[in-house]
Structure 1
């Protein structure tokens, strides 16, 4: 039995979400990508996280806009970016958000890749419990420039229909038809965030940051 999957397995709007193009010196060094240039898509974050939700979508957009602010018209350099999460690693959805940010930036905690002959290290670039005004901060290792990003998910609220259905679905009392509709409503909010509000500065706020 063929167990392979394709992007056709996912909602169509995943492919329309903004992508993030980076340059990875390690990928270039090891011949994994031509010139080390790689394009990450929202579906990559979904595959990694195992689900699509407002947290994953919001983190995707925060990473996108944070890197745009840091690098302007040049490609972000994967492995050369430090990430500072505001909350502790075990708090709330911090782990999910850190996973998405790590996918794009390469920034890993102490368990990350230690590099080759002193180069390309990714470990100790992801920090938790940091004094960030927002969700997380991003810092370029080469210039020291840094930004902090915040998310106001209330800009794209749940529909009234979802609010009514959520308790029933979460408690296991919804039938198959209701559960299918629940999933559709859930992803509709994600779609609105990624497509209708992708560049909404009320949803994602980016500000300069000075690391003490």
Structure 2
């Protein structure tokens, strides 16, 4: 599987999943996630997927500043409805990293490790994309992103039009893909820690 080299250079995150530990899926329950995992989940790489990955990573680090974040112990509440805009795509990436699932999620073992109902929609809080709340402490952070400073290349629209054309050449498709992924690369490698782009706030 040949992925762009910058995927592996993007910041990762180590989480502890007590369910994985219980079932022997990972020693100590420790699981390391990287951007490539989000790409495999979504089936593509774009600023939305990259931004969702960075927002979830930032939220978990804020909720667990002195400890390894615990997967399966965070309630995620999306501001918009599931079918609205890119909400569903972003929520899937949030689920990947937090374990929070909707009503179709895992119901637990012996009253423990349930994941269903931890992902919710429609808070209508227009100041953020989602809220992340620790189920043990109630500590909550709110995430959003502003990609205006990571603008697409001026030729993006023209290249996209050519790449989507029925008579597009391999070279034209490659040119578009290169410019498209360059924006993702900049977001992941230059703005992962940029609080103006990936915003995490407490209220």
Once the 2 structures are TM-superposed, how far is the Cα of residue 173 of structure 1 from its aligned partner? 5.0
| Pairing partner for 1:69 from 58, 62, 75 | 62
| Pairing partner for 2:83 from 90, 99, 107 | 90
Q: Are the structure 2 counterparts of residues 135 and 171 from structure 1 closer, same or farther at C-alpha, using a change threshold of 3 Å?
A: farther
CA deviation map 1:70-105 (0-9, x unaligned): 111211111100001111000111111011000010
Specify the SS of the correspondent of 2:123.
Answer: coil
Tell me the residue number matched to 2:14: 21
- Output the CA distance in 2 between the equivalents of 1:172 and 1:160: 23
Specify the SS of the correspondent of 2:155.
Answer: helix
- Output the CA distance in 1 between the equivalents of 2:151 and 2:191: 12
| Pairing partner for 1:49 from 38, 42, 45 | 42
| Pairing partner for 1:152 from 142, 146, 149 | 146
Aligned 1:164-203 pairs, distance under 5 A: 164-172=158-166, 174-203=168-197
Tell me the residue number matched to 1:100: 93
Gaps of 5+ in 1: none
Gaps of 5+ in 2: none
- Output the CA distance in 1 between the equivalents of 2:68 and 2:83: 32
Specify the SS of the correspondent of 2:81.
Answer: coil
Once the 2 structures are TM-superposed, how far is the Cα of residue 187 of structure 1 from its aligned partner? 0.5
| Pairing partner for 1:80 from 68, 73, 83 | 73
Specify the SS of the correspondent of 1:160.
Answer: coil
Tell me whether 1:59 sits opposite 2:52 in the alignment.
Answer: yes
TM-score, length of structure 1 as denominator length: 0.92
| Pairing partner for 1:118 from 111, 124, 148 | 111
How many residues of Structure 1 are paired with residues of Structure 2 in the alignment?
202
Instruction: Indicate the RMSD between aligned Cα atoms, in angstroms.
Output: 1.1
CA deviation map 1:50-83 (0-9, x unaligned): 0000000000111111111111121111110000
After TM superposition, the runs of 4+ consecutive aligned structure 1 residues lying more than 6 A away are: none
TM-score, length of structure 2 as denominator length: 0.96
Q: Is the 8 A contact 2:132 2:141 kept in 1?
A: yes
Specify the SS of the correspondent of 1:79.
Answer: coil
Tell me the residue number matched to 1:206: 200
Tell me whether 1:136 sits opposite 2:126 in the alignment.
Answer: no
Tell me the residue number matched to 2:33: 40
